[in-house]
Amino acid sequence: MSVLVVGSTALDSIKTPYRENLRLLGGSASHAAVAASFFAPVKLVGVVGDDFPKRYFELYRRHRIDLDGLQIARGKTFHWSGEYEVNMNNRRTLATELGVFEKFTPTLPPSHRDTPFVLLANIAPALQHHVLDQMRRPRFVAADTMDLWLNVALKDLLRLLRRIDALVLNESEARQLTKLDNVISAARRIHRLGPRYVIVKKGEHGAILSAPSGLFVSPAFPLEKVVDPTGAGDSFAGGLIGYLASRSGPLEANLRRAMIYGSTVASFCCQGFGLTATTKTTRTAIEQRAKKLMQMVAF
Amino acid sequence: MSVLVVGSTALDSIKTPYRENLRLLGGSASHAAVAASFFAPVKLVGVVGDDFPKRYFELYRRHRIDLDGLQIARGKTFHWSGEYEVNMNNRRTLATELGVFEKFTPTLPPSHRDTPFVLLANIAPALQHHVLDQMRRPRFVAADTMDLWLNVALKDLLRLLRRIDALVLNESEARQLTKLDNVISAARRIHRLGPRYVIVKKGEHGAILSAPSGLFVSPAFPLEKVVDPTGAGDSFAGGLIGYLASRSGPLEANLRRAMIYGSTVASFCCQGFGLTATTKTTRTAIEQRAKKLMQMVAF
């Protein structure tokens, strides 16, 4: 089944202690859509400016991503620049130029409204609502978010939590949202706010799924070298929902495996700047690495 | 089969943001021996002063720990006091009074020299050597260590690495020992220094086993409340070797399960000050929690 991904489509300029890269394809929706495309047909909903490089349209197309929902607006594409510290865990935003993103309203083409799996990748909660308003009874809706929305759009976000099946967020966001230091307590609290599934991303320490049947812990795929973690969380969410959309059978069992596949795609993402490593991988390579990851928790 | 545990036997005064406890039973060997005792007969090798409370001898005995190798010397028992910060991850030593530990030489009773499983819990590497010198071809030797020995006894420690099967250490110690930031690279490097098995403890993020067959990742058992993490690493190592000693069959498969059992006992340890929660648990409760932990990584 197919996946609709809405979020930011951006150009990222990323500085790490090792290198600097300008105007790479980035944004939550780009990472998530490419990640999901290894498993299922993807429909991308976003906006780019008229400066958006042709090669990035081609990149989406190589991943057979449906671009009917990608608006091209007059003006500049959303541009983010940031810097990582040596340990690659701390990130600092240097500049955010919203460009065409400032006036973006995600209007879905009629062909998109029946998409069964929906990922509301990181974007303003009001826009995530707007997408859901246009959907016809999707089977499974996951949403990602970020600290910014907890600060400036908490009310919208809380209202969103009652409309989704799964919330994907990182540890510090879980703490900020619930005011609870302990991540398990925080997950429990988030369930009470709405979502049946809560997925807490812990970076190099993996991710935790809290579900009605209990907890599931996925390790991160251990990498000896992280080149650029930008988009790893979005790739995780994209890989997860893509895998889910590709499977029949009971959702919760699929979700456990989907955590492994999400972690796997995220690990590829970390091995190159922007989307460079993710786009070079293949379903076969993903399967091999996912298998390795599953062996790391097997007895 | 039985386990010999050598290490420190101490009185710990522990301050956390919530409470302060004076002169609790502590020390690496105490935590490890009690943890191992749930699975196998344990022989404890250590030293205490003539001020050592009778109730702690009784505690050891309740766990059927063989005390023939526990020396009672004139003077004061090793006393450590420390303080935890709010997040329970950072620990600060307030005072260390070595007492009788200063002149401790672990001499093994003849009955101890054939013990098949040996845990050299955290103690000076020279003493760990001295124990091995007295052993007759043990089947499996694991050693734990700490940053102090990396600073003041590195040569002894490096020599020890060539004499043991498994090194257990935490993430920051692995980095310090290898000068490598990446934990997987660090584990690889440590293999080259001697041990066939390298176990890196990551606290609340679990532990990683690096073995000839590949990596194994054990999550920590998720706790909603950590009362006192003192001794959790020692409990992990003790639970691990105790479980190993209790199993027949291929070592490496047992080692994967032993990681889960080590994590499980460590989680009980964190639920009370000193050994109070560990000593209250039962093999049945451990089995139940280990089963839960295994379900958290099952598909």
Pairing of strands A207-211, A214-218: antiparallel
Which residue matches tokens 């440590």? B190
Is residue A183 less than 8 Å (CB to CB) from chain B?
yes
For the stretch A52-110, pLDDT in tens is: 999 999 999 999 999 999 999 999 999 999 998 876 667 888 999 999 999 999 999 99
Is residue B189 less than 8 Å (CB to CB) from chain A?
no
Give the mean pLDDT of B62-81.
Answer: 97
Give the mean pLDDT of B46-61.
Answer: 98
Q: What is the pLDDT of residue B257?
A: 97
CB contact at 8 A, B137 and B165: no
For the stretch A198-239, pLDDT in tens is: 999 999 999 999 999 999 999 999 999 998 999 999 999 999
Q: What percent of chain B has pLDDT over 90?
A: 92
- As a whole number of angstroms, the distance between CA B206 and CA B260 comes to 9
Q: How many CA atoms lie within 13 A of A89 on its CB side?
A: 11
CB contact at 8 A, A116 and A137: no
The helix/strand/coil state of B293 is: helix
Determine whether A197 is exposed, middle or buried from the number of CB atoms within 10 Å of its CB (0-12, 13-18, 19+): buried
ipTM greater than cut 0.95: no
For the stretch B162-187, pLDDT in tens is: 999 999 999 999 999 999 999 999 99
Answer whether A222 sits within 8 Å of B215, measured CB to CB.
Answer: yes
Model confidence band, residue A38 (pLDDT cutoffs 50, 70, 90): very high
Select from A181, A260, A296 the Cβ nearest to the Cβ of B87. Answer: A181
The helix/strand/coil state of B126 is: helix
Counting one residue from chain A and one from chain B, the pairs whose CB atoms sit within 8 A come to: 67
Is residue A208 less than 8 Å (CB to CB) from chain B?
yes
DSSP for A226-285?
-S--TTHHHHHHHHHHHHHHH--S-HHHHHHHHHHHHHHHHHHHHTSSTTHHHHH--HHH
Answer whether B202 sits within 8 Å of A202, measured CB to CB.
Answer: no
A290: tokens are: 């996912």
A180/chain B closest Cα distance in angstroms? 10
DSSP for A190-235?
HHHHS-SEEEEE-GGG-EEEEETTEEEEEPPPP-S--S--TTHHHH
Q: What is the pLDDT of residue B19?
A: 84
- As a whole number of angstroms, the distance between CA A39 and CA A241 comes to 9
Residues 12 to 41 of B: which have CB under 8 A from any A CB? none
**Nearest alpha carbon to residue A164 among A204, A186, A191:** A191
Q: Is the pLDDT of residue B197 over 90?
A: yes
User: In which domain, by residue range, is A87 found?
Assistant: 3-295
Residue A246's identity, in one-letter code, is S
pTM: 0.92
Under 8 Å CB-to-CB from A236, ≥6 apart: which residues? A35, A168, A201, A207, A262, A263, A265, A266
- As a whole number of angstroms, the distance between CA B129 and CA B273 comes to 31
Is residue A253 less than 8 Å (CB to CB) from chain B?
yes
Q: How many domains does chain B have?
A: 1
B137/chain A closest Cα distance in angstroms? 28
Answer whether B257 sits within 8 Å of A182, measured CB to CB.
Answer: no
Q: What is the pLDDT of residue A89?
A: 67
Give the mean pLDDT of A169-182.
Answer: 96
Task: For residue A194, report the phi and psi dihedrals to the nearest 5 degrees.
Answer: 150, -60
Which CATH number goes with the domain that contains B278? 3.40.1190.20
DSSP state of A187: H
A24: tokens are: 């790479």
Answer whether B202 sits within 8 Å of A205, measured CB to CB.
Answer: yes
Select from A87, A223, A297 the Cβ nearest to the Cβ of B297. Answer: A297
Orientation angle between helical segments B251-270 and B232-246, nearest 10 degrees: 140
Under 8 Å CB-to-CB from A281, ≥6 apart: which residues? A38, A265, A268
Is residue B225 less than 8 Å (CB to CB) from chain A?
yes
Orientation angle between helical segments A232-246 and A251-270, nearest 10 degrees: 140
Q: Is the pLDDT of residue B84 over 90?
A: no
